[in-house]
Amino acid sequence: MADDAPPAAELTAAAGTLKAQPLGLDTFRENIVVLARCSHVLRPERLRGSRKVEVQANGRTLMASTMIGDDHLVGPDEIGLPQPLFRRLGVKPGDPVQIAPARPPKSLAAIRDKVAGVSLDEEAFTAVARDLADHRWSDMEVAAFLIACASFMSPEETLALTKGMVAAGSRLDWDGRLVVDKHCIGGIPGNRTSLLVAPIVAAHGLTMPKTSSRAITSPAGTADTMEVLARVDLLEDQMRAVVERCGACIVWGGRVNLSPADDVLVSVERPLSIDTPEQMVASILSKKVAAGVDKLVLDLPVGPSAKLRDGREALRLKKLFEYVASHLGLEVDILFTDGSQPIGRGVGPVLEARDVAAVLAGDPDAPADLREKAIRLAGRVLDLDPALPGGQGEHRARELLDSGAAQAKMDAIIAAQGPSPLHDAALGALVHEVRAASTGPILGIDCLRIANVARLAGAPTDAGAGVELLKRVGDTAKAGEPVYRIYGSDPSDFGFAVEAAEADCGVAMVGALK
Amino acid sequence: MADDAPPAAELTAAAGTLKAQPLGLDTFRENIVVLARCSHVLRPERLRGSRKVEVQANGRTLMASTMIGDDHLVGPDEIGLPQPLFRRLGVKPGDPVQIAPARPPKSLAAIRDKVAGVSLDEEAFTAVARDLADHRWSDMEVAAFLIACASFMSPEETLALTKGMVAAGSRLDWDGRLVVDKHCIGGIPGNRTSLLVAPIVAAHGLTMPKTSSRAITSPAGTADTMEVLARVDLLEDQMRAVVERCGACIVWGGRVNLSPADDVLVSVERPLSIDTPEQMVASILSKKVAAGVDKLVLDLPVGPSAKLRDGREALRLKKLFEYVASHLGLEVDILFTDGSQPIGRGVGPVLEARDVAAVLAGDPDAPADLREKAIRLAGRVLDLDPALPGGQGEHRARELLDSGAAQAKMDAIIAAQGPSPLHDAALGALVHEVRAASTGPILGIDCLRIANVARLAGAPTDAGAGVELLKRVGDTAKAGEPVYRIYGSDPSDFGFAVEAAEADCGVAMVGALK
């Protein structure tokens, strides 16, 4: 049926004009309009089947869902605009806003096609990505698309989706400089190597404009932890200025408009806990290509509770990354790393930032696993520098870290990005210790369980919430000795976390833990 | 992670209490609460990841999504309640309402399991159906579940889902009487045989408590057309009273609480245009079992633009219906019928009601195809009566229709159900004729195209909108002669319909139509 839809331009012929009326309502990231039941332009009860409308102002067209408001909320000649739609439209109160009943965008055919087992081409994915970026799909439709893609998606389709996602956003240009980056697919709590690799690489002199994500299903993303140290919600110009000055940055990608279609997909993947290889590859590589990266080191942790459970899965993902990257002109160097337990001690923004600071400061108590992994990864990135003799990367990385050059570079990056609203974030005041019931060695630490406890405790939204690991696999714990601490500040969240840890703390020993 | 969730009862330990504050806002069928940014109980910005909360009042717990309201909308000690949540909670302004951050219901694991190719058992589907009925899933999650099921679902799973859906609602009991019914899987515009079969069967003396749906993706469901003639939104007691008096009813199932989980699934299938065999079987049979039906005649139209394109598809669906029905103790008699073109002349509630009235009145101009199909189906239902000699059903049905007994019965049913709010619905005032460009025979009429034009014109929300077919396949049209008429009342909708008909009118002739 979508085939019958005329081009969007014609649609506005049926539109009417209402006066913008900002409402004291925040609908999070959904676009909602509130219409009077007796609206002069659209009778809302006529929208029973689809509540979707197209709103147009300042040459910008957005899709929104409708709600009905009483007389004191919105008049018949007004369109009630909650946040974020009011902001996204960029109108002032009383400004004219055109509104028309929306017909489903043609790109929605992709859902039915995928359900029917049809493989989509680049044109189809490009249309999907463009309409996602324009907020023309509902959450329901995005969910349907993601699940349909989760069933089956060929490497060619993953490439086409990635290209479509790049095309739907801006693309940074770095004037011919060699741009490198390092990325981890996630899943390992505490694994904050980017905050070490970026300053090491920049101290060496390479350009690494790191755009990172906030947590999707984890207790902290790189952006969440960096936000404890510096502002991360930089606009493109601001990010560029930081990179000009320091050679690197560590910012949240959300405001740079790189692959905005991916932001929409991620916003639905998050509540649905969807994390397929194909979406992962398209998401990561579209962001990297859009950020102007030439060469990329990819960290793929493998372990029983990691995203990649075994070598076969890891190899399959590696090949998919390589296939898509090679067709995008992006050079990738992929490492399989130890994903058998969390990295570092802290899990949660404040705790992870503390680990990073200790490594940069050369603190002898700094977590050795985090330090060594960061050196290894930074070394691989430095090996991408044509000016460096082969195999010298790791040595050079260690040198830059031990000399304090990386620390100085990180200080400069933090100063350039500016102070964060979370600058004074402290560890949560509520503390619970999980203790060993008997004496013996730690046999295993489950990444998913630890992440779950930290997340329930409030991380990353509550930066000071999380888990502090006091033991690693192979360490011996005495009976009654604490194995990890849970931090939190909201009693309800904290209670959930303690409850979950009591049900299954995620640390395996001979005999139970209490 | 959902595995860690404690039972719902414990969750309310973390709840706080706010005062109910009805808001002049209607969110259609979504449950939304509006909290102050500085709410005494829940800080909404803490809900970034999941906006879902559990609200509890009068012993009833419902899931809702959050929005943030300014001071003048909602105070820090209040919970703003738009419709329909205010109504669903059954509170008065100022009443205490408990609210707690919601953790995802355990049943959500079904989505990930289905994506991973796991077959679910009856316990899992029962939990899904119960949580759907309690509005504990978001639309996004429902969409994800439906699409995941669309990829693969075994007959055993379809049976388990059907049983779960029956268990999640009420079940009507008819004191041992033989209860018969007739159902069509849909897809054929104008195919309103239920409005003829029910009065014929009741005139014979059998019990047929017909609960029907509103249109999902079509321009009219049985309930939409019946609503032109009588009230259809009856509660269970009212429906029962009609059946006691008349032996039959034709009501909308939505208020009888039969398979409420199905209502939730359908509300998401509709905007997504999902219509898989498995969902269809579970939806139809759960409603029939819940309605207390013993024996069911099922109409499966087959044709190039019908839901079933060929005999192979039809046979597969027939076997699935028979498998599930037999395990539910429901006797089904399945007919493959001609689905090569629309049935009757009208497509859309008012036009279809006119066709039905003409057949009942014995009008010689009444559409013969609708009349003959209704007689055939009613005959098959009557053949389910043990008291009638085998093969007499069709003869008896014809007799009851021709004698006026069916007309009298329909009048009684209409009187018993009471007057409809659409009682004075008239044909739309806007009319467009689609005309033949040259003289020749009509080669084909596309069900999907005709349905699409009628739907774009406004049907079924606008009862007077639709398509009136003036020719059938095999008829000859002269050049310039109208082939069908489009009716509508909203200029914008009507414009879309005319545009779609001009792009492809759905009627095949040698030479073009204009």
Looking at chain B from residue 227 to 266, which residues have their Cβ under 8 Å from any Cβ of chain A? none
For residues A312-318, average pLDDT: 96
Give yes or no for A73 touching B (CB within 8 A). Answer: yes
By DSSP bridging, strand A32-36 and strand A60-69 are parallel
For residues B383-390, average pLDDT: 94
Tokens 């830059």 belong to residue: A400
A140 chain-B contacts, CB cut-off 8 A: 139-140, 142-143, 268, 271-272
8 Å CB contact of B1 and A273: yes
Tokens 């059946």 belong to residue: B243
Give the closest of B50, B140, B147 to A115, CB-based: B147
DSSP-assigned letter for residue A338:
E
Closest chain B CA to residue A49: B271
Give yes or no for A508 touching B (CB within 8 A). Answer: no
Evaluate if residue B449 carries a pLDDT over 60.
Answer: yes
Evaluate if residue B286 carries a pLDDT over 80.
Answer: yes
Looking at chain B from residue 401 to 460, which residues have their Cβ under 8 Å from any Cβ of chain A? 448, 452, 455-456, 458
Residues 6+ apart with CB under 8 A from B416: B241, B242, B245, B246, B249
Tokens 């008896």 belong to residue: B396
pLDDT in tens, B8-27: 333 334 568 999 999 999 98
Give yes or no for A272 touching B (CB within 8 A). Answer: yes
Residues 6+ apart with CB under 8 A from A473: A340, A341, A442, A443, A444, A445
Q: In the structure, what pLDDT confidence band is assigned to residue A245 with cuts at 50, 70 and 90?
A: very high
8 Å CB contact of B139 and A140: yes
Active site residue A113: no
pLDDT in tens, B170-229: 899 999 999 999 999 999 999 999 999 999 999 999 999 999 988 877 899 999 999 999
Cα gap B466→B481, rounded to integer Å: 19
Q: Where do the DSSP E strands lie in A242-309?
A: 248-252, 295-302
Give the closest of A50, A273, A452 to B112, CB-based: A273
More confident residue, B28 or B460: B460
Closest chain B CA to residue A497: B4
Q: What's the token pair of residue B486?
A: 């489009």
A493 chain-B contacts, CB cut-off 8 A: 46, 101
For residues A139-168, average pLDDT: 94
CA distance A407 to chain B (A): 33
Q: In the structure, what pLDDT confidence band is assigned to residue B49 with cuts at 50, 70 and 90?
A: low
Cα gap A163→A161, rounded to integer Å: 5
3-state secondary structure of A360: helix
Looking at chain A from residue 96 to 115, which residues have their Cβ under 8 Å from any Cβ of chain B? 100-101, 103, 111-112, 115
Cα gap B242→B236, rounded to integer Å: 10
CA distance A82 to chain B (A): 9
pLDDT in tens, B134-169: 888 888 899 999 999 998 899 999 999 999 999 999
Query: For position B11, what pLDDT does the model report?
Result: 37
Site from B28, B149, B217 to mutate, A interface, most A CB atoms within 10 angstroms: B28
Q: What's the token pair of residue B245?
A: 């008096």
Query: For position A47, what pLDDT does the model report?
Result: 62
Residue A77, burial from CB neighbour count under 10 angstroms (0-12, 13-18, 19+): middle
Least confident of A227-231, A328-332, A368-372, B106-110: B106-110
Give yes or no for B8 touching A (CB within 8 A). Answer: no
More confident residue, A257 or B479: B479
Give the closest of A143, A150, A503 to B143, CB-based: A143
pLDDT in tens, A174-198: 999 999 999 999 999 999 999 999 9
**Torsion from C-alpha of B95, B96, B100, B106, nearest 10 degrees:** -70
8 Å CB contact of A101 and B492: yes
CA distance B490 to chain A (A): 10
Per-residue three-class SS string for B124-183: HHHHHHHHHHCCCCCHHHHHHHHHHHHHCCCHHHHHHHHHHHHHCCCCCCCCCCCEEEEE
8 Å CB contact of B144 and A148: no
Query: For position B511, what pLDDT does the model report?
Result: 61
Looking at chain B from residue 482 to 501, which residues have their Cβ under 8 Å from any Cβ of chain A? 490-493, 495-496, 499-500
Give yes or no for A28 touching B (CB within 8 A). Answer: yes
Q: In the structure, what pLDDT confidence band is assigned to residue A270 with cuts at 50, 70 and 90?
A: confident
8 Å CB contact of B504 and A4: yes
Give yes or no for B502 touching A (CB within 8 A). Answer: no
Please identify which of the residues A77, A113, A233, A275 carries the catalytic annotation.
A275
What size, in residues, is chain A?
A: 514
Closest chain B CA to residue A11: B496
A34 chain-B contacts, CB cut-off 8 A: 25
Cα gap A371→A359, rounded to integer Å: 6
Looking at chain A from residue 118 to 157, which residues have their Cβ under 8 Å from any Cβ of chain B? 138-144, 146-148, 150-152
B73 chain-A contacts, CB cut-off 8 A: 24-25
Evaluate if residue A208 carries a pLDDT over 50.
Answer: yes
CA distance B408 to chain A (A): 34
Give the closest of A67, A268, A274 to B26, CB-based: A67
Name the nearest CA neighbour of A484 among A186, A190, A184. A190
DSSP-assigned letter for residue B497:
H
Site from B492, B494, B498, B504 to mutate, A interface, most A CB atoms within 10 angstroms: B492
For residues B257-285, average pLDDT: 89
CA distance A139 to chain B (A): 6
Give the closest of B24, B71, B140 to A268, CB-based: B140
Does the complex come out with an ipTM higher than 0.95? no
For residues A298-318, average pLDDT: 95
pLDDT in tens, B294-317: 999 999 999 999 999 999 999 999
Query: For position B50, what pLDDT does the model report?
Result: 63
3-state secondary structure of B306: coil
A115 chain-B contacts, CB cut-off 8 A: 147, 150-151, 274
pTM strictly above 0.90: no
Mean residue pLDDT across chain B: 91
pLDDT in tens, A18-61: 999 999 999 887 889 999 988 888 766 566 556 788 899 988 88
